[in-house]
Chains A and B, each alone.
Chain A
Amino acid sequence: MTDQTQSAPAQRPAATSPDTRRRGATLGLAPRDLGLFLFVAGLTLCAPFLLNPFPADSSLAQFNAGYPDLMQRFVIFGIFAIGFNILFGLTGYLSFGHAAFLGVGSYAGVWMFKLIGMDVLPAIAASVITAGLFSVVIGYVSLRRSGIYFSILTLAFAQMCFALAYSVLTPITGGETGLQLSLSDPRILGAAASASGNIPVPSLFGVEMRETTDLRLGAWSFSLNVGYYFCAAVMLVAFYLAIRLFRSPFGMMLRAVKSNQQRLYYTGLNARPYTLGAFVISGMYAGLAGGLMVSMDPLAGAERMQWTASGEVVLMTILGGAGTLIGPVLGAGVIKYFENIFSKLNDSVLHGWFAFLPDGLENFVVAIVHPFVGKGWHLTLGLMFMAVVIFLPGGLVEGGQRLSRLFRRKSGPETRSTNDTPAE
């Protein structure tokens, strides 16, 4: 299924790649992309501060997302979504089974922890390679079909992976309880147990991933976590590579696949290896995400391969803006934020917030808000999906563009660009 080409009624200038010739490229990026990259780098670097805007003991601290687990999830799912977008955003091939690659990557990672040792690099390498191998096989078969038929093939493969991992493959995958470490694992290049007799934790050259420094500034508190910064660094590399890929001839070919396969074939190009290449690259991104997930939290559950997990990354990508560079990362962030923050708001928290209201009114307001938070967080998520797609057809990125256009218009009409903002 590709996005249908929407032909605009009037001729309009391009929305992409205004720089067709390199001018003052740094790091191999055009100035505009470099700006975006530095912006994202800045955000990830400062995330522990930006995500904890409320004082630690204020009632709004519930909205703080700057704790290690969630920050790690933001960037890990960001990687997953960036990779998915390389396939879906560029070629238009909608895979409904990408979670399988994340899953096998996770299993490979945990097995490395069990067999080799607790250093994260071999685990991540194994994750990426295993996911890559799986995606070569699944991609080779699935890409024989296109459109919805392709989607269903990938879905079928992933569902098979999930069903088998949950049941008959339990000796390899841990099944229902997930694959986890135990004290009796061999770990040939490391200790089976830590000095205190516990299972050792993942580390990078001896630095534990969970090591955290709490920084207190007045009423605020910020967690600086080794694992997060490691993930963030990996994500920046992944993001950088994705930008390069988007701007490369290969990326252009992928967009050409999406736009018109017939023309591509009659231009002397074979679409199949291009799409397979994109499929494998995005599968490896998923594997990387899986490897990082177990490096942060060394347990791999089969549910992360279920179709709902594959659907989640589809939703992240579309929500953020398919085919844009930053969109998938935004989408991943928003969905994970809802999952982790909104689900934890319970009635007692609500009463805490609205305590300043008179009793009757307080109960009334709590009753109104109640269905949308805590156990109702799915409802809010569903409503948000609908709102975004109805009002912002291009996803959150379009929302950002509209805002910035509005801002520019206000700040000075002379700077108003006739160009659509590039698809970032």
Chain B
Amino acid sequence: MTKRHVTRRGVIQTGAIAGAGLALPTYLRAQESGFTNAPQGDTVTLGFNVPQTGPYADEGADELRAFELAVEHLNGEDDGGMLQTFSEKNLDGTGILGRRVEYVTGDTQTKSDAARASARSMIEKDGAIMVSGGSSSGVAVAVQALCQEAGIIFMAGLTHSNDTTGKDKRANGFRHFFNSYMSGAALAPILAAQYGEDRKAYHLTADYNWGYTTEEAIRSSTEAMGWETVAAVKTPLTQTDFSSYIAPVLQSGADVLVLNHYGGNMVNSLTNAVQFGLRQQEANGKQFEIVVPLYSELMARGAGENITGILGSQNWDWKLENELGAKYAGTNAFVQSFGEKYGFPPSQAAHTCYVQTLLYADAVTRAGSFNPCAVVEALEGFEFDGLGNGPTLYRADDHQCFKDVVVVRGKENPENEFDLVEIVEVTPVDQVTYEPDHPQFSGGSLGTCNAGA
């Protein structure tokens, strides 16, 4: 084989023990295969990089449960979950391309440095061929860039910032989760329908990238509906008490408060807003309302009954198929096997991670190769169904999935801590689709796929 690329990894086998060396399994990367971490022997290793410490540890734990479930299903254990409903029937429970799936886990700590360290150890030490997971956009973007460099596939977990498939998109990275723009586009018409078109909004925005893109998306969509934005105030990431940001809201003339917050910030700002009695007030002759663009069921649990009646958007909800019918097939199959195994329904973070794992496995199978470039080709422009979101497209231009977006509202009297939201409506995919060169996503390029080695 002629070496076209600069050698990044060579293999020296000392002659005397070359025979023994050849018998070596997964750990080694084979130069000959032409791509990083080509599976050796009869197994293939996937890397699941989730927050296991820090504020998102529970979300990470839920993602990890989904990954474990996906691996079991791929290996033909358990009931197979969404494999039965998936529109592609290539996966038959014999692993991926006949290789048994193994996995390694790591802790992102929700810090881009730690996440990259953990991902690098999966790549360099454990020979992972694909890395997935994550619970924040900072981490997703950082790890995606790393996977691009190393020449392996990154299947993003929960990451909602436009940047992941916008200015920071990478050829080796794929996102199934929806994004800020889609939240805005999905929410705006429903907000207008529920609260009227003559509304004045006050934004509190987390002062970092994800907050910026979310605020921009919600503002532009709602303003297009006729809403007016009274003010937008940025709040520090490390803020725990939002009282001083909430208190002036009523006096500002606004009648809707939009909380562009996630996780702990969202729990606290929402709790504080309800504490200040905003929901009981009237402003401009209308009932005052609060909107949380990105709902996380897990974190919503922390806000308790404060979420009652609050509108927001989700990538998926475990009640979809029950309430809206067979279009969202796959949902029940997944909920069933997840619920059987763990005793409670899965979160949207779990769902997206599970689906990403299956999509990767399927792409490899269709491509007939673990080569990242072949996988990229298989995933680009791929249309599928039966994974819980209805018909979905993996767009080639930016590696973003396009599917319906669920608009939810905090339930009045939740029966248990897993049933906190009710589905209000599903915004069809057409309404949330945008051009690849949309200004909110401009400034980056995919580059070319990198197979490493």
Contact = CB atoms under 8 A, between A and B. Distances in A.
The reply to whether A and B meet directly (CB within 8 Å) is yes
A67 interface: yes
Q: Which of A199, A216, A219, A223 has the most CB of B within 10 A?
A: A216
B209 A216 contact: no
Contact of A163 (B7, B141, B161, B236): B236
A112 B450 CA distance: 24
A182 B148 CA distance: 12
Contacts of B138: 175-178, 301
Contacts of A344: 104-107, 118, 121
B52 interface: yes
Interface stretch (B14-22, B180-188, B189-197): B14-22
Most buried by A among B17, B68, B138, B445: B138
Contacts of A176: 112, 136-138, 208-210, 237
B53 A375 contact: yes
Contacts of A378: 53
Nearest to A210: B8
Contacts of A297: 116, 120, 146
A284 B140 CA distance: 31
A375 B238 contact: no
B209 A303 contact: no
Given A166-B208, A215-B12, A344-B105, A177 B24 contact: no
B207 A56 contact: no
A306 to B, nearest CB: 8
B113 A70 contact: no
Contact of B5 (A182, A196, A210, A215): A196
A196 B450 contact: yes
A421 interface: no
Contacts of B9: 211-214
B117 A69 contact: yes
A175 B112 CA distance: 11
Interface residues on A, range: 35 or more
Decide if the interface of chain A is mainly helix, strand, loop or mixed.
mixed
A208 B27 contact: no
B150 to A, nearest CB: 8
B42 interface: no
Chain B's interface size range is 35 or more
Nearest to B19: A218
Contacts of A197: 447-448
Given A68-B124, A69-B124, A343-B118, A201 B52 contact: no
Contacts of B116: 297, 299
Contact of B117 (A212, A217, A340): A340
B21 to A, nearest CB: 4
A57 interface: yes
Interface in B49-76: 52-53, 57, 60-61, 64, 68
23 contacts: A56-B25, A57-B26, A64-B125, A68-B124, A70-B125, A176-B237, A177-B137, A178-B138, A198-B448, A208-B6, A211-B8, A213-B12, A214-B28, A215-B14, A216-B20, A223-B124, A299-B113, A299-B116, A303-B113, A340-B118, A343-B107, A375-B53, A375-B60
Interface of A: 56-57, 61, 64, 67-70, 73, 163, 166-168, 170, 175-178, 180-184, 193, 196-199, 201, 208, 210-219, 221, 223, 297, 299, 301, 303-304, 339-340, 343-344, 346, 348, 374-375, 377-378
